[in-house]
Amino acid sequence: MTQPPATESARGAAAPLDAPEQRGFFGHPRGLSTLFFTELWERFSYYGMRALLILFMTATVERGGLGFTAEKAGAIYGLYGAGVYLTAMPGGWLADRIIGQRRAVLLGGIIIALGHFSMALPRTFFFYLGLLLIVMGTGLLKPNISAMVGGLYPEGDARRDAGFSIFYMGINLGAFIAPLVVGMLGERVNWHVGFGAAGIGMVFGVIQYLLGGKNLGEVGQRPRSEDVRTEAPGQPAKGGGSRMAGLVFAGVLVGLMGVLQLLGIVELTSAVGMARAGGLVIVTLALAFFAYQFTAGGLDATEKRRLAVIGVFFACSTLFWAGFEQAGSSLNLFARDTTDLRMFGFDIPASTLQSINALFIIALAPVFAWMWVRLNKRGTEPSSPAKFSLGLVLMGAGFAVMVAASLAAAGGNKVSPLWLVLTYLLHTLGELSLSPVGLSTVTKLAPQRVVGQMMGVWFMSMSLGNLIAGQLAGKLGTNPTPIFGAVAATGIGAGLVLALFVRPLRRMMGGVH
C-alpha cells in the first residue's frame, strides 16, 4: 500500500530559487499541504475503485456486475495494475521534456476523474474506457507529484525526508478511508455509485490542487530538460541514437508478438492472453536492458557485479508483489465468498477489509523507521539482501495463514475475518521490510549514468508482479488451498534461499549496505 520514497533523481530537486521559502505546514513549505491533500484524494479515488474492481467484475449480471469468470476478471485486474506502473515512465518523461510536472499532475487528475465517472456509467464499453483513462491519468500524476515534493526543498534541506514522510502519510490516509466509503457505497447501494464517489474524490483533489497552486511557487512549472528546446539547428538531438535504438527494439518486439500470435503461442484477443503477452513483453524488456548494460554499457567490474545484484532483487521484488498484490484480487474474493463478515451485529462489505493494510502502515511505519535507525547506530541493522529475504518470508507466511483459513473453510464454512487481518499484518511487515529498501538500494547500486532508466526497469518488477497476481487470482476456483499453498511455499522458499546468499551478495554490492 505504501509507495516507496522517491529517489534523489526522481524527486527532481529544484534549484533553490524554485523552492518556496514559506513555512506553514508543520514547519514545512505550505506547498506540501497542497500536494499532501492532492495525493490523499488521488489515493482515495484509486484504492476506493480498486477495492470494488474484481468484486464488480465477478458479480452476476443480476446483482449489477459484469458476470466475468474469475480467470478473466483476474487477468483484467492484473493488466490494470501493471499498466499503472508502466505508464509512470512515459508520464515522467512527458513532464520532464514537454509539459512540466505542474501541468502533468493537473492533467493526470482530470483524466483520472473522467475515468472514474466513465466507470459510473452502466455499459461495459465505459468500464474499459474508464480503466484506460485511470491508467493514463495515474501515469501522469503519480511520478510527478512525488517529484514536486522534492522540488519544494532546496538542495541539502534537512527537512526533505521528513516532508516525504508527511506526504506518504497522506497516501495511506486516503487508502484507509477509501474502501470504507467507496466500498460501502459500491456494495450496499450500487457499483456505479461507488465508482462515481471515487471520481468525486478526485475532483476534490483537483480543486484543492488548483486553489493551493499559489503555495507551490515555481516548482514544476517548467520542463526539466530544457536542452531539448535549445539544441542548435543542424546538430543531432541528444540521445537520438538511444531513442532510435529504442524505436527499433519496440518495432522488433511488436513484430515478435505478431509472429507469436500467428503461431498460437500467445492469444491477444482475450484478457488472459493479453496478460500473458504483457508479462512476456516485460520480461523481454528487462532482460534486454540487463544484457545491453552488461555487454555494451561500458560498465567496469564493480558496476557489473552491482547490476547482477539488482537483477536478483528484481526477481525477488516480482515474487513479492505477485503475492502482495493479491490483496485486491484473490484475498478480496476470499473475503466475499468465504469470510463471515458479520461484525458487531452488522454485515460489513468485503471491500472494507482493504483498509487494513493502510491502517497497519500508518501504525507501523514510524516503528520501522525508528527501529532501522536504532539498529544502525548499534551496527546491527540488517543488510538490504537480508531485508529482502525477510520481506519474502513474511509475504509467504501470510499465505501460509490463508492455507489454514481455506482448510478451515472446507465444506462451505465461513471463517473469521481475523485470518485476513493476520495475513495483512504479515504482508504489511513484509512490505515495510522490502518496499522502501528496494528503491533506495537500487539507486545506490545502479551506475549513475543510467539510474533513471534503472528506476524504470525497477518499476517493471512491480508491474510484472501485478500481472502474475491477477493470473493467480483467476485460478482460485472453489478450493483456494493449492494456490495459497503454492504462493506461501514460493515466498518462504525464495526468502530462505536468498538468506543463504546474503554474504556473497553483500560482497558483490561493493560497500553499499
pLDDT tens digits for range 114-140: 999 999 999 999 999 999 999 999 999
- Indicate whether 187 pLDDT > 50: yes
- Indicate whether 464 pLDDT > 90: yes
Q: Quick one: cell of 49?
A: 475503485
CATH code of the domain in which 147 resides: 1.20.1250.20
Q: Are residues 370 and 482 in the same domain?
A: yes
Boundary (domain end) residue, out of 210, 225, 240: 225
Structure confidence at residue 239 (pLDDT): 46
Beta bridge partners of 173: none
Structure confidence at residue 17 (pLDDT): 44
Tell me what the mean pLDDT of segment 35-51 comes to. 93
Range in 47-56, 126-135, 160-169, 375-384 with the lowest mean pLDDT = 160-169
Query: Do 513 and 502 touch, CB atoms closer than 8 A?
Result: no
pLDDT digits (tens, 9 = 90+) for 235-262: 444 444 455 555 555 566 666 666 666 6
Q: Are residues 175 and 87 in the same domain?
A: yes
The length of the chain in residues reads 513
Residue with more model confidence, 15 or 313: 313
pLDDT digits (tens, 9 = 90+) for 330-360: 999 999 999 999 887 788 999 999 999 999 9
3-class secondary structure, 494: helix
Structure confidence at residue 487 (pLDDT): 96
Beta bridge partners of 346: 343
- For residue 246, being part of any structural domain is answered with no
Mark out the alpha helices in 237-270 (DSSP H runs).
240-263
What is the residue type of 341? L
- For residue 172, being part of any structural domain is answered with yes
- Indicate whether 395 pLDDT > 90: yes
Q: Are residues 217 and 304 in the same domain?
A: no
Query: Do 496 and 393 touch, CB atoms closer than 8 A?
Result: yes
Of 142, 169, 103, 209, nearest to 364 (Cα)? 169
Residue with more model confidence, 229 or 411: 411
Residue 489: how many CA atoms within 13 Å on its side-chain side?
6
- For residue 256, being part of any structural domain is answered with no
Share of the chain above pLDDT 70, in %: 85
Boundary (domain end) residue, out of 225, 246, 264: 225
Residue with more model confidence, 177 or 370: 177
Q: Are residues 455 and 371 in the same domain?
A: yes
- Indicate whether 105 pLDDT > 70: yes
Q: Are residues 388 and 502 in the same domain?
A: yes
Confidence category of residue 202, pLDDT binned at 50, 70, 90 = very high
- For residue 308, being part of any structural domain is answered with yes
- For residue 22, being part of any structural domain is answered with yes
pTM of the shown model: 0.86
Rounded Cα distance, 260 and 263, in Å: 5
Structure confidence at residue 190 (pLDDT): 95
Query: Do 307 and 294 touch, CB atoms closer than 8 A?
Result: yes
Q: Are residues 214 and 322 in the same domain?
A: no
Residue with more model confidence, 202 or 233: 202
Structure confidence at residue 89 (pLDDT): 81
How many helices, marked H, and strands, marked E, lie in the chain?
20, 2
Residue 148: how many CA atoms within 13 Å on its side-chain side?
36
- Indicate whether 488 pLDDT > 90: yes
Of 386, 383, 400, nearest to 495 (Cα)? 386
Structure confidence at residue 162 (pLDDT): 72
- For residue 288, being part of any structural domain is answered with no
Tell me what the mean pLDDT of segment 309-336 comes to. 95
Confidence category of residue 41, pLDDT binned at 50, 70, 90 = very high
Structure confidence at residue 8 (pLDDT): 36
- Indicate whether 12 pLDDT > 80: no
**What domain range is 64 assigned to?**
1-225
Q: Are residues 494 and 382 in the same domain?
A: yes
Rounded Cα distance, 176 and 164, in Å: 18
Structure confidence at residue 254 (pLDDT): 63
Q: Are residues 389 and 478 in the same domain?
A: yes
Structure confidence at residue 169 (pLDDT): 86
Structure confidence at residue 306 (pLDDT): 92
Q: How many domains does the chain have?
A: 2
DSSP at 347: E
Q: Quick one: cell of 162?
A: 521528513
- Indicate whether 3 pLDDT > 60: no
- For residue 117, being part of any structural domain is answered with yes
Structure confidence at residue 182 (pLDDT): 94
Boundary (domain end) residue, out of 180, 203, 225: 225
Rounded Cα distance, 178 and 46, in Å: 8
Structure confidence at residue 513 (pLDDT): 67
Structure confidence at residue 499 (pLDDT): 96
- For residue 283, being part of any structural domain is answered with no
In the predicted model, what is the mean pLDDT of the chain? 85
What distance lies between CA 369 and its chain's CA centroid? 21
Range in 153-162, 312-321, 323-332 with the lowest mean pLDDT = 153-162
Q: Are residues 216 and 318 in the same domain?
A: no
Q: Are residues 158 and 39 in the same domain?
A: yes
